[in-house]
Structure 1
Amino acid sequence: MWQRFTLYDLRVIGHYLGTLILFSALTMVVPLLTALVFQEWEPAARYLFAAGLALTAGALLRFLRIEPGRLSRRQALAVTGTAWIILALFASVPLYFSGHYATYLDALFDGVSGLTTTGATVIQDLNHLSNADNMLRFMMHLLGGLGLIVVALSIGLFGKRAGASLYTSEGRSEHVVPNVVQTTQFIAGITVEIVAVATVVIGSMCLVAGMEPSRAFLQALWLSISGFVTGGFAPMSQSIMYYHSAVIEFVLMVLMLLGSISFVLYAEVWKGRVGMFFRDIETRTMLLWIGVMTVVMTAALSAGPLFSDLPALLRRGLFMVVSAFTTTGFQVVTSNQLTTAFTSGAFLTLALIMAVGGSAGSTSGGIKFSRVGIIFKSMVATIKEALAPDSARVVVAYNHIGRRVLTPEIVKEAMTVFILFVVTYVIGALVGIAHGYEATQAIFESVAMTSNGGITTGLATSGMPMSLELFYIFQMWAGRLEFVTLLALVVEVAASFIPRRKETS
């Protein structure tokens, strides 16, 4: 029986959302300092205003004082489900006043895209965006890629009582170390180390290419963040094509691959259990899937005019495959080339790769390899049961941080999320078609939004119909929450508005 949200529930939710909004005000300090360092006075004023707005709203919500206690699951779902949109609303304010967005809805689109690490953008004149505004875009990627709740818990923002409920509500159930706070700190630490190393490597390449030191550092930092958290935003409108560097593309491919691996497996390698990594169902599913799809993609691309020679085929084709399956969204071909120079087979193969996505517990989006592997294992179990004698008991196991038995509950969870993703892909495509767009483009764009993939064909652009833009925002939000949190929130809210039936004696 669904319960209503009580006044106490609303106070609890408002209190924790206020804490997150106050935290978002602190994140405004980074672009503010960037503006001051580079003497960007107009952006500095905008971020000072945005930080003040967030501080005021957060403080007001924090006045909804609550009695100390453990956060219930339904309250945690509400906090997590609404946080992504609430924080995007505040982050969009300084972006909108930058003058690079036609409407506030466009700025909100980029805010949601940044926090959900989709990477699709409707910004205008990106090449002349201020350093401060660019810094905010990649800060959103960093916060969203790690998970808003993960970042907040890693610095002890919610305390110990609420940690477990909020951590689970963000779609995470595995601890890489004994408790939630240590787990989130481990995830944040790994990210900082990898981004720091990548920044040095890419920055060196930019210096060699002739960039001035400050610009080389910023470009390297932004690309490193976007690559590892599989975000997809780039500081230049040409995305990765701007750099004309095979070395930078290679480093970014390594970063994207690292970002698509579950943080739980990082912990196993860190503990010296390297064999666990290669036996894991996600690793094996990933290697098999990428091997097959790379062959299919290569065959499809070789028939097109864009890749007339083998080096171009390997360099650009492989980069796009990695960008798609990690749901990063970096591009080394233009949106126009995607729809004109790519063969229809290569185009739809890229959409299929993006739809599946990377590993669970990573920064990638999509259906996830763990669910695909479990569904495949359940098919194997069904076949074994059909062939086995009636008296036989068929047990199917798989490896994921140890040997586990495949149960109906595990299969049901994987199938539920899989079906919800596929249904949303289809509905999004139909919405695009209803707005008058060509079917294959509408399918591709729907997959890009729901999987948080970010590789787009140009449908998501400034000036698109408002109804389509709102639906794309919903898809990015739903895909990032992997539907379960979102649907639970929707049902709880709907139940709160349904009139109670009077009890009769």
Structure 2
Amino acid sequence: MWQRFTLFDLRVIGHYLGTLSLFFGLLMLVPFATAVCYQEWQPAARYFFSAGLVMAIGAALRFLRVESGRLNRRQALAITGTAWLVLAFFASIPLYQSGHFLTYSDALFEAVSGLTTTGASVLTDMDHLSNADNMFRFIMHFLGGLGLIVVALTVGLLGRQSSASLYNSEARSEHVVPNVVQTARFILRITLTVVAAATVLIGIALLVIGMEPARAWIQAFWLSVSGFVTGGFAPMAQSVLYYHCAPLEFILMVLMIMGSISFVLHSELWRGRIMPFFHDIETRTMFLWIGAMTVVFTASLAATQLASDLPTLLRRGLFMVVSSFTTTGFQVITSNQLSTVLSSGAFLSLALLMSVGGATDSTAGGIKFMRLGVIFKSVVSTVKEALAPESARVVVSYNHLGRRVLAPSTVKTAMTVFILYVVIYVMGTLVGIAHGYEANEAIFESVAMTSNGGIVAGLVTPGMPVSLELFYMLQMWAGRLEFVTLLALLVEVIASVVPRNRLGMRS
């Protein structure tokens, strides 16, 4: 039953938001240090001020509740859902002061896009953005890609009693090990290892093409972070197209694919268990889905001017397919080429790839391969039941870290989230059409925002209509939390505000 938030609930929520705010304020000292190193004094002042302000607010909120205790499900959902919004507002403060945004709503959009790892940007003159501001953008990606709660758990900020409730409220359903804190630390360890290795490889690639060392290494780090957490921000306005470097594109494709694989399956590979990975329903669904969509996309792309020869077709087409299904958002073709040069079939193929996304418990967005596989298994089960004798008991199983029997509750959950994604895709499309845009572009942009895909076709621009911008921010927020946390939070807020006799039920 729905219940009102009590004063005690609000104190608990405020206390944990204060802890996360303090941590976020400390992270702002990283771009401050970057600014000092590169002698960017104006950005240094901005981040020093913003860090102090955010930490002061966090410290004040911490006084709302001092004693520790176990969180209930309602409190955990409220803390997680609210934290993503609160930290986005904090992040918009130094971004807006940079002078690279036409309006404050653009700066807030950039913050939401960064934290949700959508990667769509509304910056003006990105190529001349300070190193400090760029560092902050990729810190947001790192924090949002792994999850605010996961990162906070790794450094012991939230306490062991509340760890399980908060971990599950952030759209994460599986543990690498039974202990939630150890799972969070394992996720961070994998990420740091992969990012470090990728930074070396990408740095070498950038040095080979003639980039100066200081710039090459810092951009290598940024691209490594953005690639593995499937974020999509790039330090240059032309995204990956700016570099014109085939080895770099190959490394980024490997990174994006690794980021779109479940961390639970990463743990299997880490322990040398290869076969469970290839037998898993998510892996098999991924191979089938990506194989089919690559054929469709390549066939559609072959008729366009963009792919005038086979090497160009393979290089650009494959990169865009990988960037789309991992919901990263890196581009090797411009946004204008997406909507004007690509055929409508290739254009919508990318939207379909983004809509499904990667694996559950990965850094990718979208509906996820697990749900797609479960829905397919449900169809198989329905067909078997229709063909089987009435006395027969039909059992359908699948592999996911062992043999599992397909349960009605699993199918129900998968179908619910699938339908919610489709509904929001449609709603975002209608909002785009209502603002005067073409249907194809409105579909593409709506899918990109909700799936946290980040590849944009031209609707997301600096100074875009505020109403459309706000709806896209809502889509990014909802998609990152996979709706359950968001809807639960909204229901709890409504239950706390609307009189009980209007709700028609009692607690």
Normalised-by-shorter TM-score class: over 0.9
Q: Partner residue of 1:427? A: 427
CA offsets, 1:190-241, max 9 Å, x none? 0000000000001011111121111011110000000000000000001001
Q: Partner residue of 1:400? A: 400
Q: Partner residue of 1:236? A: 236
Please state how far the C-alpha of 1:498 moved relative to its aligned partner. Answer: 1.8
CA offsets, 1:241-284, max 9 Å, x none? 11010000000000000000000001112222211000000000
Please state how far the C-alpha of 1:47 moved relative to its aligned partner. Answer: 0.3
Q: Partner residue of 2:120? A: 120
2:205 aligned with 1:179:
no
Please state how far the C-alpha of 1:304 moved relative to its aligned partner. Answer: 1.1
Q: Partner residue of 1:292? A: 292
Task: Please say if residues 421 and 450 of structure 1, whose CA atoms lie closer than 8 Å, have aligned partners that are also in contact.
Answer: yes
Q: Partner residue of 2:390? A: 390
CA distance in structure 2 between the partners assigned to 1:330 and 1:189 by the alignment: 24
CA distance in structure 1 between the partners assigned to 2:119 and 2:70 by the alignment: 35
Q: Partner residue of 1:444? A: 444
Q: Partner residue of 1:75? A: 75
CA distance in structure 1 between the partners assigned to 2:104 and 2:209 by the alignment: 37
CA distance in structure 1 between the partners assigned to 2:355 and 2:480 by the alignment: 13
CA distance in structure 2 between the partners assigned to 1:292 and 1:385 by the alignment: 28
SS in 2 for 1:218: helix
Aligned amino acid, residue 72 of structure 1: N
SS in 2 for 1:404: strand
Aligned amino acid, residue 136 of structure 1: F
Q: Partner residue of 2:347? A: 347
2:417 aligned with 1:417:
yes
CA offsets, 1:143-202, max 9 Å, x none? 000000000001111110010000000011211023011000000000000000000001
Task: Please say if residues 170 and 481 of structure 1, whose CA atoms lie closer than 8 Å, have aligned partners that are also in contact.
Answer: yes
Aligned amino acid, residue 131 of structure 1: N
Normalising by structure 2, what TM-score? 0.98
CA distance in structure 2 between the partners assigned to 1:397 and 1:52 by the alignment: 54
Task: Please say if residues 264 and 361 of structure 1, whose CA atoms lie closer than 8 Å, have aligned partners that are also in contact.
Answer: yes
CA distance in structure 2 between the partners assigned to 1:131 and 1:67 by the alignment: 40
5+ residue gaps, structure 2, are none
Task: Please say if residues 141 and 231 of structure 2, whose CA atoms lie closer than 8 Å, have aligned partners that are also in contact.
Answer: yes
2:476 aligned with 1:476:
yes
Task: Please say if residues 103 and 463 of structure 2, whose CA atoms lie closer than 8 Å, have aligned partners that are also in contact.
Answer: no
Task: Please say if residues 77 and 489 of structure 1, whose CA atoms lie closer than 8 Å, have aligned partners that are also in contact.
Answer: yes
Q: Superposed, which structure 2 residues align to 1:46-65 within 5 Å?
A: 46-65=46-65
Aligned amino acid, residue 434 of structure 1: A
Q: Partner residue of 2:23? A: 23
Task: Please say if residues 429 and 446 of structure 1, whose CA atoms lie closer than 8 Å, have aligned partners that are also in contact.
Answer: yes
Task: Please say if residues 118 and 454 of structure 1, whose CA atoms lie closer than 8 Å, have aligned partners that are also in contact.
Answer: yes
SS in 2 for 1:161: helix
2:202 aligned with 1:202:
yes
Aligned amino acid, residue 345 of structure 2: G
SS in 2 for 1:98: coil
CA distance in structure 1 between the partners assigned to 2:500 and 2:464 by the alignment: 42
Q: Superposed, which structure 2 residues align to 1:455-470 within 5 Å?
A: 455-470=455-470
CA distance in structure 2 between the partners assigned to 1:122 and 1:467 by the alignment: 15
Large movers: runs of 4+ above 6 Å: none
CA distance in structure 2 between the partners assigned to 1:52 and 1:301 by the alignment: 51
Aligned amino acid, residue 349 of structure 2: T
CA distance in structure 2 between the partners assigned to 1:438 and 1:428 by the alignment: 13
Task: Please say if residues 11 and 66 of structure 1, whose CA atoms lie closer than 8 Å, have aligned partners that are also in contact.
Answer: no
5+ residue gaps, structure 1, are none
Identity %: 72
SS in 1 for 2:215: helix
CA distance in structure 1 between the partners assigned to 2:2 and 2:240 by the alignment: 48
Please state how far the C-alpha of 1:464 moved relative to its aligned partner. Answer: 1.0
SS in 1 for 2:305: coil
Q: Partner residue of 2:325? A: 325
State how many pairs are aligned. 504
Q: Partner residue of 1:283? A: 283
Aligned amino acid, residue 433 of structure 2: I
Normalising by structure 1, what TM-score? 0.99
CA distance in structure 1 between the partners assigned to 2:174 and 2:234 by the alignment: 31
CA offsets, 1:82-135, max 9 Å, x none? 111110111111010000011111001000000000000100000000000000
Aligned amino acid, residue 96 of structure 2: Y
Aligned amino acid, residue 79 of structure 1: I
CA distance in structure 2 between the partners assigned to 1:386 and 1:66 by the alignment: 59
Task: Please say if residues 154 and 188 of structure 1, whose CA atoms lie closer than 8 Å, have aligned partners that are also in contact.
Answer: yes
Please state how far the C-alpha of 1:501 moved relative to its aligned partner. Answer: 4.0
Please state how far the C-alpha of 1:66 moved relative to its aligned partner. Answer: 4.5
SS in 2 for 1:348: helix
CA distance in structure 2 between the partners assigned to 1:466 and 1:17 by the alignment: 27
CA distance in structure 1 between the partners assigned to 2:26 and 2:83 by the alignment: 16
Q: Partner residue of 2:377? A: 377
Q: Partner residue of 1:272? A: 272
Q: Partner residue of 2:84? A: 84
